[in-house]
Structure 1
């Protein structure tokens, strides 16, 4: 009887496991289908914005321009305003909204079989993104290539994990367009770039998109130098650490010969005096530890220092790189904003326009609390669409979308 009870309990356990796995499969299919439905909804909003631009623009743009705005421009303004509206409501970046619609349009037009399986929930969002990315890179108008790619990837997209599927799909894509490899490489090489991404604990990522031969040679150089240093007596750094240090020394000139530029660091007064260990804020990055902040404030010639109240965070004093007051005002606003002040926009303030919230032509003054940084796209949206911005006496900024949604301001950077 005990034996029968054991098998009975195990049988019930097997049923529970099978049931749980089935539930997980069902829920994952639902997640996949819901993600696809989100792409459809985003595409529908943007299509409506293009078809009926008056919803997002109306006659608003003409009041801020002396020249007539062509209908195509109204459509462009409407699309940008709608993308911003969706981004704020969905708590996504505008680039994500654009990429979601681009993914939907690409899959609908180039991989309809895969798209339908995605709508049914059979394909994960990660695999669907891979399909859209690779399908978008196929030769424009080559319907035979579209159909061949669509038919070949659909089965594997439903059963392979993302990394494995991506490797398979890339290989398939290369086989389909093998006869244009040289031209495609030249086109892709024109997109080479370097990107910077702040991380936590005083760290950041730098990524470079390079031709494969250049990247391979660079890694070989890093490896060789790191290996040489690892053989030095007393060296305790790991190979990854050595590669990172060699890379940093190479691109900065090991402390010499670097391009001169000034970066701001906001330091609470008590932190500077050594009485607290409250973090400071490095311009373009974010929080840094107190010790690093004091070092930068003391001996880094490329840093300009901004003292802040330890309780309220209000700016108490700022280094003046020039004697001109407008420059100091610009520096102060730049350090207050850190980025474009549109909700969710991460464009650095130093690369944005410094805009009068109330335009000078309407009586706006050039004061700290009537200025804010806007990237070029959001600057245009402010003037050419129904997006509106307000700023109170304390500098608190609010944006209202064309559909009436009031976006709460992002948290202050310090």
Structure 2
């Protein structure tokens, strides 16, 4: 087996200070090629691992539709990435090796990056295998030419060839993309949020044109705001029905905020946590709490900061406990997964004797919960100052997850007309 640790040490301890600028540029290029080769090696290992896991599941009598469950999760944990990225790595590895041989060869030679290989796979996804192989040959048979292409050039040429070979596939791809329209929210710097909408082109253009028209009118009549500010405020007004500049009333949606009572009273500025967003400063948390029309308090352990536990004799996690888990865990408890909590999971399965308690439950996203149910996965609570879970994958690798430390002794739930505060 190759001594990867020795290679890591050599790269880590490069004598960069003693090199000339020419040598530095040459070494940057060589390391870029090495990085591509390493990514390709990971893809090859991923494909082989998937085949082995599927074969073992088949031998164990697992139904065909469930044999791949949990594989992407193991890849994600090994690469210290989210399950979503793990699924992308797995899919790309299988496609490159089996359906894009020329792209695969260029990737393994360090000619192209994982991203460029992903673009090739993405742009040929709707083609039949025979046509996909033809696009691969025409674009990637000459690895030097493929290496010289920019990302946009590669996407354009692949899309053009796909349209020439199978126009119907392009139509189907567009329809599939339209079915995947969605709206997402992500944190942005300085306590801002990034609201994104993936829309069919006619709808996206129409929305932008309407907002731009409103901005043109406002600026033309002497509004002191910039065009961007007017467009943002108009979007909020048209979606929520309230003017963000003049209307401070309840937005009519649930907003859950977790904060220490010392922040609420202004003794500290330790900050708070908004479910579905992330950390916010103390002054904003107090502004939110100032609009609370109803408060309920529940104190956590003063030494560990852990939220007060709850128990249930029911097999299914009751709604109150599930809500408690979302506030305690904040995001999916799988390491490196930042997805929102969707499922209240029994750490040790009920079928194995696991009780319905907060000590034996955790918040997981849907993908991680399904992966954990695959053959060979086990999880157990572990003792610690905060809620801790050890998850072991079918290969015997163990990963530990710990609930966030409680800056939080208080949480606030904002409902239409109702706020709940746990201090």
What TM-score, normalized to structure 2? 0.76
Q: How does 1:237-386 map to 2 (within 5 A)?
A: 237-254=225-242, 260-300=252-292, 312-315=304-307, 327-349=319-341, 351-352=342-343, 354-360=344-350, 364-386=354-376
Q: How many Å apart are 1:410 and its aligned residue?
A: 5.0
Measured in 2, the distance between the counterparts of 1:383 and 1:149 equals: 37
Are residues 268 and 105 of structure 1, via their aligned partners in 2, closer, same or farther at CA, if it must alter by over 3 Å?
same
- Check whether the contact 1:296–1:303 (CA below 8 A) recurs between aligned residues: no
Please list the CA deviations of residues 352-382 of structure 1 after superposition, one character each: whole Å capped at 9, or x if unmatched. Answer: 1x23334556554443323222344443444
Query: 399, 404, 409: which is aligned to 2:401?
Result: 409
SS, match of residue 158 in structure 1: helix
Measured in 1, the distance between the counterparts of 2:163 and 2:82 equals: 31
Are residues 405 and 211 of structure 1, via their aligned partners in 2, closer, same or farther at CA, if it must alter by over 3 Å?
same
- Indicate the structure with greater helix content: 1
Deviates more, 1:173-182 or 1:92-101: 173-182
Q: What residue is the counterpart of 1:6 in the other structure? A: none
Q: What residue is the counterpart of 1:72 in the other structure? A: 64
Q: What residue is the counterpart of 1:185 in the other structure? A: 174
Deviates more, 1:168-177 or 1:215-224: 168-177
Q: What residue is the counterpart of 1:52 in the other structure? A: 56
Q: What residue is the counterpart of 2:415 in the other structure? A: none
Query: 97, 108, 112: which is aligned to 1:119?
Result: 108
Q: How many Å apart are 1:175 and its aligned residue?
A: 4.4
SS, match of residue 136 in structure 1: coil
SS, match of residue 345 in structure 2: strand
SS, match of residue 98 in structure 2: helix
Q: CA RMSD in A?
A: 3.5
Q: What residue is the counterpart of 1:152 in the other structure? A: 139
Query: 13, 26, 33: which is aligned to 1:29?
Result: 33
Unaligned stretches of 5+ in structure 1? 1-14, 59-68, 319-324
Measured in 2, the distance between the counterparts of 1:226 and 1:305 equals: 44
SS, match of residue 254 in structure 1: coil
Q: How many Å apart are 1:115 and its aligned residue?
A: 1.8
Are residues 31 and 330 of structure 1, via their aligned partners in 2, closer, same or farther at CA, if it must alter by over 3 Å?
closer
Are residues 149 and 317 of structure 1, via their aligned partners in 2, closer, same or farther at CA, if it must alter by over 3 Å?
closer
State whether structure 2 residue 376 is matched by structure 1 residue 389.
no
- Check whether the contact 1:85–1:401 (CA below 8 A) recurs between aligned residues: yes
Measured in 2, the distance between the counterparts of 1:111 and 1:213 equals: 33
Please list the CA deviations of residues 28-65 of structure 1 after superposition, one character each: whole Å capped at 9, or x if unmatched. Answer: 2111111111111111111110112289xx6xxxxxxx
Q: What residue is the counterpart of 1:133 in the other structure? A: 122
Are residues 330 and 109 of structure 1, via their aligned partners in 2, closer, same or farther at CA, if it must alter by over 3 Å?
closer
Deviates more, 1:225-234 or 1:250-259: 250-259
State whether structure 2 residue 47 is matched by structure 1 residue 43.
yes
SS, match of residue 266 in structure 2: coil
Deviates more, 1:254-263 or 1:168-177: 254-263
SS, match of residue 186 in structure 2: strand
Are residues 260 and 82 of structure 1, via their aligned partners in 2, closer, same or farther at CA, if it must alter by over 3 Å?
same
Q: How many Å apart are 1:26 and its aligned residue?
A: 2.0
Unaligned stretches of 5+ in structure 2? 1-18, 311-316, 407-423
Measured in 2, the distance between the counterparts of 1:303 and 1:214 equals: 42
Q: How does 1:84-233 map to 2 (within 5 A)?
A: 84-137=73-126, 139-141=127-129, 143-144=130-131, 146-152=133-139, 156-178=145-167, 181-233=170-222
Measured in 2, the distance between the counterparts of 1:254 and 1:304 equals: 28
State whether structure 2 residue 70 is matched by structure 1 residue 81.
yes
Please list the CA deviations of residues 275-333 of structure 1 after superposition, one character each: whole Å capped at 9, or x if unmatched. Answer: 11111001121101111111212215699887768985434799xxxxxx955433322
Measured in 2, the distance between the counterparts of 1:218 and 1:170 equals: 27
Q: Which has the larger radius of gyration?
A: 1
Are residues 54 and 180 of structure 1, via their aligned partners in 2, closer, same or farther at CA, if it must alter by over 3 Å?
closer
Measured in 2, the distance between the counterparts of 1:232 and 1:309 equals: 57
Are residues 163 and 46 of structure 1, via their aligned partners in 2, closer, same or farther at CA, if it must alter by over 3 Å?
same
Are residues 404 and 149 of structure 1, via their aligned partners in 2, closer, same or farther at CA, if it must alter by over 3 Å?
closer
Are residues 306 and 114 of structure 1, via their aligned partners in 2, closer, same or farther at CA, if it must alter by over 3 Å?
farther
Measured in 1, the distance between the counterparts of 2:178 and 2:308 equals: 48
Measured in 2, the distance between the counterparts of 1:336 and 1:234 equals: 44
